[in-house]
Amino acid sequence: MKKEKIVIIGGGFGGLNAAKSLKKTGAEITLIDKTNHHLFQPLLYQVAAAALSPGDIATPIRGVLRKRKNIKVIMEKVISIDRKNKKVILKDDEIEFDYLIVAVGSRHSYFGNDQWENFAPGLKTISDALKIREKMLYAFEKAEVAKTDAEIDKYLTFVIVGGGPTGVELAGAIAEISKKTMRKDFRRIDPSKTKIILVEGENRILTTYDNSLSKAAEESLKQMGVNVLLNRKVTEINSEGVQIGDEFINATNVFWAAGNQASPLLKSLNTEQDRAGRIIVDNDCSIKDDANIFIIGDAANFKNGGGKTLPGIAPVAIQQGKYVADIINKNINKEDRKPFKYFDKGTMATIGRAKAVLQIGKFKASGFFAWLTWVFVHIMYLIGFRNRYMVMSEWVWHYINMKNGIRLITNKQNN
């Protein structure tokens, strides 16, 4: 009898959880990812801020699935999906499928100004984080040998565009490293005078959180020396700095945390997409007219009961991965499938050492308790004992003596 073929594209939160939950031992399962690792994106900003090493938050996919003998892992970029012939197209190969799970995540979007990426890197991958880390550390080195005060000022001005969780976390982490960790490391410049500006287009940061938590986060950032600009839109970014309304800010360090765009691969599915390029899926995560093609996680626009699109966060991807695996395990026909139901375990963002905000349904908290919960949850969700141990020990070390350990510049050409 012909073996059933299940293909998963993406080894992120959605794809990896789908793979781990597939129980069909008789099926031929292939997981394809363009990288060789699963990345724990929620802690990426800590790699960018020199607090963690890339290896602490990334795990080889092959290693995670080594005991699953019927799962083949391929490191390749999927170029397109041929729905008609049920094939996934790679550069030099094609892979047939009976079931397809697409979990390709998203990239940052510059809202039609792609040239800004040259001056304002975003944060999605390990190489993005390393680029930001090098740019940030290199700026302090350049400032130390700069000839004029204006030059020093330009190197020691950091602008972060976007006041969502990533922008808030990055701004807090840069404030900590400059104003505390590196305060005494230089002879000429004073890193504690670093200007950190967080720009948000809306009238508050963390807009998906309750108003009171936005205020608490803003207050914490201000206490850490971050200048929060609200209701301000960035209209230009170049090598000299950022134009924000009528004001031009001279800065060599501009980081982008403002928007998301789904993978261009999704276009080849030829089905309805939203403005961010996500596929609009049915309530079983499958696409229109193709009950055995599922789109999950950041790549999907899934409308829950109230008609609201589920947010692009890890728990949504994880739960959808497990849900579609269950449908495939049991060969459930489209008409018999129970709709996917998202169980909201809450959201949280950290602002710096011992400060965070947390929202679980109607329960809200900020400060030390929220931060402890944040620490606990992130350690729990990291993959592998080694990574949990390494991250925990780095955090304890950092908590005690405020030293970020990974302050290395290894690739000067990036700057």
Q: Residue 72: name the closest of 58, 86, 82, 62 by CA.
A: 62
Non-local (6+) Cβ contacts of 161 within 8 A are: 120, 167, 199, 234, 237, 242, 254, 255, 256, 257, 258
CB 106 within 8 A of CB 298: yes
Q: What is the smallest separation between the CB atom of 148 and ligand FAD, expressed in angstroms?
A: 35
Cα-based angle 206, 210, 211 (whole degrees, multiple of 5): 80
Q: What is the nearest approach in angstroms of ligand FAD to the Cβ of residue 153?
A: 28
Hey, what amino acid is at 289? D
Residues engaged in binding ligand FAD (CB under 6 A): 9-15, 32-35, 41-42, 44-45, 77-78, 103-105, 123-124, 165-166, 263, 265, 297-299, 312-315, 317
- The helix (H) or strand (E) run that includes residue 20 is helix 13-21
Residue 248 C-beta: closest distance to ligand FAD, Å: 27
Query: Where are the alpha helices (H) located in 229-381, listed in sequence order?
Result: 314-329, 368-381
* Cα four-point dihedral sign 185, 186, 190, 195: negative
- Cβ of residue 33: shortest distance to ligand FAD, in angstroms? 4
Which residue in the list 169, 176, 200, 394 is annotated as catalytic?
169
Closest CB 77 distance from ligand FAD, rounded Å: 4
- Of 192 and 271, nearer to ligand FAD (C-beta) is 271
Shortest reach from residue 250's CB to ligand FAD, in Å: 26
Measured CA angle at 236 (ends 230, 237), to 5 deg:
100
Cα separation, 25 vs 23, whole angstroms:
6
Nearest residue to ligand FAD on Cβ basis: 12
CA–CA separation, 145 and 128 (whole Å): 26
Separation of alpha carbons 170 and 133, rounded Å: 11
Residue 176 annotated as catalytic: no
Supply the DSSP symbol for 180. Answer: I
Amino acid letter at 124?
Answer: K
> Which positions are catalytic?
169
